[in-house]
Structure 1
Amino acid sequence: MSQLLIRVDPLIVLLASWFFVVGVVYLLNKQAVKYFIAIYWKSEGLVRYIRLFAEKLSFIPLRAYLIATLLLFLMPVFFILPIVRPDGQIQILQGFIYMLIGGTLSAVQTLIKGGQISEAATHAAGVTPIVPGVTLPWDQLPYLAVAIVVAVLSHELMHGYAALRYGIPLKSVGVFSLVYIFSGAFVEPDEESFKKAGTDAKVAVLASGVAANVVLAIAAMLLGLVGASAGLQGAVFGVQALGIQPGDRVLEMHGCGFNERVYTPDDFLIKVNTLAGMGPLLGVNKTIKCKPGDKVVLVVGRWFDKYEVVVDYSNFTTTPKIIWLYTDGSLYKGGIRAGDVIKRIEGCGVVEEIRWSGQLITSLQEIKFRCKPGDVIRVVVERNTTQIAFNITLVEREGVIFFGLGLGSLPLWGYDEGPIRRDQLYNTDFARLVFWLVVVNYGLAVLNALPIYPLDGGQLVAAVVQRKLGEKNGKALVNIVTWALAAMLIFNATLGLLGEQYRILQSIK
């Protein structure tokens, strides 16, 4: 029996769903629909729900709330961005404003020295506009949309909460959207009351939205940690490979003393390549003593069940073929070139027939331990079906022997070789939702906390400096800071687009 498979373009689904939403809103309130491409709906009646929320949390002391909110507001831009990984490890990034200024200066220097735009983009702050269908695959839109709704509603809810706690009335609450892409919500405080409010009240109101997003980002990461321990993450196979069926997900790997949980597709590939002996090129400080014939057990999840797949270690090895080398390294200076396949290494008591990339890395690590700069080793390569021997003098960099290998110098399983490719592996729905909750909330927090007027950060700075310097001088200072930082943002975003840094987003599965 043949089956008819119909693949619907995600763009068609997006537009169809949009017109459905617009139709429902039109039936409820015709005035809220603008030319059937935009929704702008504000209501005075919705204010009562924020008022009820504020009454429920009226027990929080205002002084404590102000201090906590201000610290959370300042954290992502001026202090740190904590990243909690699914395995429980914590990574600390510096405040975004330092990355923005430092990245801008570094990128400008690269361009002045004649560097390519793509090279300058790698030095920039990594500002990439998220545009579905352009910089982001359409299939990520549902998770992104949920994250935006949660982030924006929480942001505005806390603005409203703070305003009411400080006695500033709210006039209305509203939402807007332009074909999903430009969407948001807002609360409209009474302008006169806000202008007359004290500095503490203004700071609390302006900082509350960002603080809410920071809390949500951290909460999402902790949710991811809990979900990972419950087996809700992993590397989902999009094709049949290694005895694993499409839709099933690898949760754990065991073999050769290597026992690891798997959280994402990239995590899976890093651990597979580490198991294959490629850890040093990936920045992983682990040495695995495996050889062909040894067995690796993959624990696989299917819905609420688990099963094990036993795979021969040789399935994860790759050919020791040079893809590229640093030109100031020992191998390149000794005559080794891209395309050569390393067959044998001799030197400083090491004699090894090389059959796979991980074995080459292990042998070079042993030579680095036994030899010293200036020693000579013998390397046999296969070039165009002919074997050639090179006598290579070991050179050093920063006091240690430098062979000239870097990330991607040798084939990696899942990227260059292997039965499955990176683009055939997917995150679980849970992992995608957590990812976008973190990205959107941190992104919204960072953007709004920047001292750029009329963003929350710019208004907060204006409220403080105008009180200290007077309205005229304070406004001049805010304008200078606004234009300088806005120019940096635009410059970094442009570099990200021209340098194709958005391909990182496009690779998200």
Structure 2
Amino acid sequence: MDPLVAFLVSWFAVVGIVYAVNKNAVRYFVAIYWKTERLNRRIEGLVKRLSFVPLRAYLAVALVLALAPIFIAMPFVRPDGQVQALPGFLYMLIGGTVTAVQTLLSGAPVAEAASRSAGVTPIIPGVTLPWGQLPYLAVAIAVGVALHEFMHAYAALRYGIPLRHVGVFSFFYIISGAFVEPDEEAYKKSGVEAKAAVLASGVAANVALAFLAMLAGVAGAWAGLYGAVFGVSAFGVDAGDRVLEIRGCGLAERVYTPDDFITKINVLAGMGPLMGINKTAACKPGDEVTLVVGKWWGTYEVKLDYSNFTTPPRINWLFEDGSLYKSGVRPGDVVKAVEGCGVREEIRWGGQLLSTLLSLKKLCRPGDVIRVAVERNGTTVALNVTLVGKGGEVYYGLGPGSLPMLGYDAGPIKASEIYNTEFTKFVFWFLVVNYGLAVVNALPIYPLDGGQLVAALAQRRLGERRGQRLVNALSVVLAAMLIFNLALGVLGEQYRVLQMIR
């Protein structure tokens, strides 16, 4: 079924169920807005059962979880268990804005400025996001926003602030969530500690969900729920099955996503250096490569000759200031042999060409001459290549994609024909959505949670009027930066990354 059709069918099914239960909660069959006091009592009962948590300890944990991703760093746990750190988003926003503005003023294109910005991309279904990803996004938003609001309610009730209303809303899944309305007068009269707990709790909940998504990802990887799902039969793998692991030529690598699979088979093919990856595989035709493949009921192995993971030594493109282009090598040429600095190699595949050039880079110096034989229009042409230098070393003028890459230019399967598992998509969107909700809500922009928290602290120190002026000025500056980065994300087409999610 077409993803858009499935989306609409599921939406009207949900609306129909809600209408049957409470027709007043449905607005023109395109929106749901359900506000009730009955849910208040259930939340109050749940909060009572969770009231054993000491308030001071709860406040400390909530503040750490809420403020760390925005002001310090957000630990990021990869499926393979490796831990990285995302810098505090506020520093990314400010630094990215300054760098992007400087890049634009230098005359660089918008795409380059966008690549140096904070990397904020708006999620617009059908525009920046494929319709097929919307169900996963909708579930992540609904859960993330619901828990965000529940924790606001939890903190309010723990500090003696009653609730007025609790409800849920949705507009075609795209804008969905829940809301809690604490008693306004009681909230205003509460102390800074109570306000800090209420405001930090929602953000802390999203950070906690992001961490849970990461841990679920690690557990899922251990259980074999990740992998690259083949949309067509290729490499001896049946359509619909998942490649879980690649072994051969000194490599034994788990596979987690389609991009991960493409990267690792290109490392196997010897293309790692062109991708900025130092890891190489010592392979030659005749060597054996094993793919561990998963089905729903088990696994099987596919054993292949290494020749299945080689690419032709054809030049796709070159930097014009490099040795090869300056000496006459042109896109479309197929390199047949390389000789110089005591080395002579007959070239049969792309990875062999790249490894030979890298070997010569260590043996030769700028100014030396090597001979390169290429096949051009069915004729062999011998070229004397004078090596030029850049940064103190030999510079060939090769870049990413200068030689054919498996999954893009060569091989039995294209990158667009490999998909994530359903588990991977849910984990990905739970992580992205909850991290996004956390850092945006924690920004000191009024009336976001972070802005209200800064306002409470500023008004206590400076008085209500002066404190509010400070917060308003800060909000305008940061909101302008956020909007600027969002605009760059659209104009610079950074959303293409979202569109590549499969």
Tell me if both proteins adopt one fold, taking TM over 0.5 as the criterion.
yes
> Offset at 1:66?
1.3
Counterpart of 1:490? 483
Tell me which of 96, 105, 112 is aligned to 2:89: 96
Counterpart of 1:398? 391
> Offset at 1:409?
1.8
Counterpart of 1:418? 411
TM-superposition CA deviations, 1:245-293 (whole Å, max 9, x none): 1110001111112111111111111110111111112222222111112
1:466 to 1:333, Cα distance in 2 relative to 1, 3 A:
farther
Tell me which of 285, 293, 298 is aligned to 2:291: 298
Tell me which of 126, 135, 159 is aligned to 1:133: 126
Letter in 1 for 2:78: R
Q: Secondary structure at the match of 2:245?
A: strand
> Offset at 1:349?
1.6
> Offset at 1:126?
1.6
Count of matched residue pairs: 502
TM-superposition CA deviations, 1:283-330 (whole Å, max 9, x none): 222221111121111111111211111111111111222222233333
Letter in 2 for 1:191: E
Q: Secondary structure at the match of 2:382?
A: strand
Q: Secondary structure at the match of 2:371?
A: strand
User: Residues 158-169 of structure 1: matches in 2 within 5 Å?
Assistant: 158-169=151-162
Letter in 1 for 2:431: V
Is 1:58 aligned to residue 51 of structure 2? yes
User: Take 2:234 and 2:309, find their aligned partners in 1: how far apart are those partners?
Assistant: 12
User: Take 1:163 and 1:375, find their aligned partners in 2: how far apart are those partners?
Assistant: 75
Counterpart of 2:202? 209
Counterpart of 1:358? 351
Is 1:196 aligned to residue 189 of structure 2? yes
> Offset at 1:238?
0.3
Counterpart of 2:147? 154
User: Residues 328-343 of structure 1: matches in 2 within 5 Å?
Assistant: 328-343=321-336
Is 1:109 aligned to residue 99 of structure 2? no
Q: Secondary structure at the match of 2:179?
A: strand
Counterpart of 1:437? 430
User: Residues 5-84 of structure 1: matches in 2 within 5 Å?
Assistant: 8-84=1-77
Letter in 2 for 1:100: L
1:212 to 1:372, Cα distance in 2 relative to 1, 3 A:
same
TM-superposition CA deviations, 1:418-437 (whole Å, max 9, x none): 11001100111111111111
TM-superposition CA deviations, 1:47-81 (whole Å, max 9, x none): 22222232222222212211211111112211112
Task: Quote the sequence identity (%).
Answer: 66
Counterpart of 1:5? none
CA contact (8 A) 2:4 2:132 kept: no
TM-superposition CA deviations, 1:419-460 (whole Å, max 9, x none): 100110011111111111101110111111111111111111
Is 1:369 aligned to residue 362 of structure 2? yes
Range with bigger deviation, 145-154 or 24-33: 24-33
Letter in 1 for 2:450: G
Q: Secondary structure at the match of 1:46?
A: helix
Q: Secondary structure at the match of 2:38?
A: coil
Q: Secondary structure at the match of 1:125?
A: coil
RMSD across aligned C-alpha pairs, in angstroms?
A: 1.5
> Offset at 1:471?
1.5
User: Take 2:330 and 2:474, find their aligned partners in 1: how far apart are those partners?
Assistant: 50
User: Take 2:452 and 2:370, find their aligned partners in 1: how far apart are those partners?
Assistant: 65
TM-score (norm 2): 0.97
Letter in 2 for 1:31: N
Range with bigger deviation, 329-338 or 144-153: 329-338
TM-superposition CA deviations, 1:161-216 (whole Å, max 9, x none): 11111111111111111111111211111111111111111111101111111111
Is 1:237 aligned to residue 230 of structure 2? yes
Q: Secondary structure at the match of 2:33?
A: strand
User: Take 1:53 and 1:327, find their aligned partners in 2: how far apart are those partners?
Assistant: 68
Letter in 2 for 1:168: I
Counterpart of 1:284? 277
Counterpart of 1:459? 452
TM-score (norm 1): 0.95
Range with bigger deviation, 127-136 or 204-213: 127-136
Counterpart of 1:323? 316
1:93 to 1:325, Cα distance in 2 relative to 1, 3 A:
farther
